[in-house]
Structure 1
Amino acid sequence: MSIFTGAGVAIITPFNEDGTVNYDAFGEIIEAQIKGGSDAIIVCGTTGESSTMNDEEHIAVIKYCVDKVAKRVPVIAGSGSNCTREAVNISREAERVGADGLLCVTPYYNKCTQEGLYQYYKAISDAVNIPIIMYNVPSRTGTTIQPETAVRIAKEVKNVVAIKEASGNISAVAKLASLAEGCIDIYSGNDDQVLPILSLGGKGVISVWSHVAPKKVHDMVMAFLDGDIATAQKLQLEAIDVIGALFSEVNPIPVKAAMNMLGFNAGPVRAPLTELSDKNKEVLKKSLKEYGVL
């Protein structure tokens, strides 16, 4: 059974000026996403700046999200690490505080082999009882889950049910879908490639774009799955410029700037990330206005 079908938002973590988590703003953003039609909340992922959080803070943010969402949509907690032991510990804690599923990025910096990836996901799976989404994003981690490995893990590791595909390699996604024959759910991890991945049997997207247009992203996925390809195509293509602006610098720098522009108190990013450049702020503001959300 799929954890979700549709558009899940890879939600930001708002910070106060002193760097602490702004839970009031976080609650407002969560409510706006649910009201807007997001089908799942993915908390403490890349967009949530989880790599800048200590373990206590990481779990506190997940718990707040779980409690705030209150089962209205699934909450999927980012719990991957460059250390298997750390990933296991965070995954256990995420399950304890009520997460419905886990998003586990491949180990970064420690560039393990394909067998190492298998053992990593097996160790996490053996420690928890909730479903796991693998996260393939080699541009950030330096490690690629090969299609054959993803299928092996999905077939042999009990809780691994899906993969977030952010490699950008549509040919590899097609190979994965061909080998999998439905044994694994595929979610797009790139907002500009949602329709191509849906066309290969994908279940939806884990999205940054959803921050600024949750209903449009949800509607696009559902239109495609309902067979209204023309509407889905229109929604995808009319967003290409705003998606480009949301990734004009390293994620989540632009999306935090966008949320501040839209009136949410998203606050600053944490170092080593820096604030969006003035040039890209103007591009982002222009694209949000042309897209009709600002």
Structure 2
Amino acid sequence: MFHGSMVALVTPMRADGSVDDDSLRGLVEFHVTNGTDAIVAVGTTGEASTLDYDEHCGLIRRVVELAAGRIPVIAGTGSNSTVEAIELTRCAMEAGADACLLVTPYYVKPTQEGLYRHFRAVAEAVPIAQILYNVPGRTAVDMSNDTVARLADISNIVGIKDATGNLERGKELIDRCGDRMDIYSGDDATAMELILMGAKGDISVTANVAPRAMHEMCAAALRGDRVAAHAINADLELLHKNLFVEANPIPVKWALHEMGLIPPGIRLPLTELSSQHHDTVRQAMKRAGVL
């Protein structure tokens, strides 16, 4: 349904933590101009967990308005509360989002049956296209491939963002479910290989700062051109690594501020990138040609 480089968009904030609409407008234009294939608004990288309900829905509506049909918008609407996930997903549908991205319910540690019932309940309540999101390193819950295979039979569950970084596991998902849903990488460091194996794209942190290169790398991998994809990815590998020297989105927001695209704001409990890591991130940006 969605293919290529899909940016996990940051939420630009002023120094006081308020959302900066002017910078948000600039970021959307930046991605439209540079060939990003879809925008994922208010996901992990967008600091969804620090936003209240009204801010969350308001940001989805605003990104849809700014995109103006020029680029698909996928709204992050996951929650550890099934009721809240349904409400956010309904809000996104009413705002005009093209699809929703739903993370596994964090902190509460549901069983596999609980995960299945959670996602089924959201899908049955709201008819918008939905993409599952498995990121056990952040949520303390890991959705098994068996559970994903069960959910793949639900018509409006159209994909999964696999952020495990486990290529063997990702390939199994492609083999078992690829005829019923699209598999996306959620791990920039392994995205090229997973796409070459049959994934349909990458929901990317790196694309925030190197959108054109990520679009071109994903496009090359999608057409099976390993040589071209590898050549592009070689200059991005340091970004894939160094944008995670501290918890995402701390480094990527600092990088975008260095590029003059957003103010330095970030919300507690996240803090600005430690000075000891500035040169590390700058080195990666220079290697990628974005600084």
Structure 2 contact 206–214 (Cα < 8 Å) conserved: yes
Which of 29, 33, 38 is equivalent to 1:31? 29
* Counterpart in the other structure of 1:89: 87
- Separation in 1, partners of 2:71, 2:157: 20
Which of the numbers 191, 194, 198 marks the counterpart of 2:191?
194
Paired residue secondary structure (1:62): helix
Q: Give the distance between the partners of 1:181 and 1:39, measured in 2 at CA.
A: 20
Instruction: Measure, in 2, the Cα distance between the counterparts of 1:230 and 1:103.
Output: 31
Q: Do the aligned residues in 2 keep the contact of 1:151 with 1:184 (CA within 8 Å)?
A: no
* Change beyond 3 A, Cα 1:286–1:74: same
Q: What is the alpha-carbon root mean square deviation over aligned residues?
A: 1.0
TM-score normalised by length of structure 2: 0.97
Question: Shift in Å at residue 216 of structure 1?
Answer: 0.7
TM-score, reference length from structure 1: 0.97
**Contact kept? 2:210, 2:288, Cα under 8 Å:** no
Judged with a 3 Å threshold, the aligned counterparts in structure 2 of structure 1 residues 250 and 133 are, in CA distance, closer, same or farther, namely same
Distance in 2, Cα, partners of 1:176 & 1:34 = 30
Q: How far did 1:181 drift?
A: 4.5
What's the CA shift string for 1:160-209, capped at 9, x where partnerless?
A: 01000101222211222222252110111011111221122100000111
Residues 80, 103 of structure 1: 8 Å contact kept = yes
Pairwise CA distance, 1:219 = 0.6
Query: CA offsets per residue over residues 118-170 of structure 1, 9 Å max, x none?
Result: 11111111121211000000000111111111011011x22101000101222
User: Which aligned segments of 4 or more residues in structure 1 are displaced greater than 3 angstroms?
Assistant: none
For the residues of structure 2 that align with 1:74 and 1:241, how far apart are their CA atoms? 28
Answer whether contact 2:238 2:287 (CA < 8 A) is retained: no
* AA matched with 1:238: D
Residues 63-113 of structure 1: CA distance to partner in whole angstroms, max 9, x if unpaired? 000000011111000000011011011111111111110000000001111
Q: Is the 8 A contact 1:253 1:275 kept in 2?
A: yes
Select 1:105's aligned residue among 95, 103, 106: 103
Aligned to 1:218: 215
Distance 2:165 2:289 in 1: 27
Contact 1:81 1:105 survives alignment (8 Å): yes
Where does the alignment leave 5 or more consecutive residues of structure 2 unmatched? none
Unaligned residue ranges in structure 1 (runs of 5+): none
Within a 5 Å distance, the mapping from 1:1-294 to structure 2 comes to 2=1, 4-155=2-153, 157-294=154-291
Distance in 1 (alpha carbons) for counterparts of 2:276 and 2:152 = 44
Q: Secondary structure of the equivalent of 2:242?
A: helix
What CA distance in whole angstroms lies between the structure 2 residues aligned with 1:227 and 1:164? 20
Rounded Cα–Cα distance in structure 1 between residues aligned with 2:150 and 2:218 = 28
Q: What is the SS of the residue equivalent to 1:41?
A: strand
1:267 deviation in Å? 2.6
Preserved contact between residue 7 and residue 207 of structure 2 (Cα < 8 Å): yes
Greater Cα offset, 134-143 or 120-129 = 120-129
SS of match in other structure, 1:171: helix
Letter in 2 for 1:174: K
User: Is the 1:13–1:266 Cα contact (8 Å) retained in structure 2?
Assistant: no
Give SS of 2:152's match. Answer: helix
Q: Distance in 2 between matches of 1:292 and 1:37?
A: 17
**Hey, what's the Cα distance between the residues in 2 that align with 1:246 and 1:255?**
6
Distance in 2, Cα, partners of 1:208 & 1:50: 15
Alpha-carbon distance in 2 for matches of 1:19, 1:227: 43
Size of the aligned set, in residue pairs, is 291
1:205 alignment partner, SS class: strand
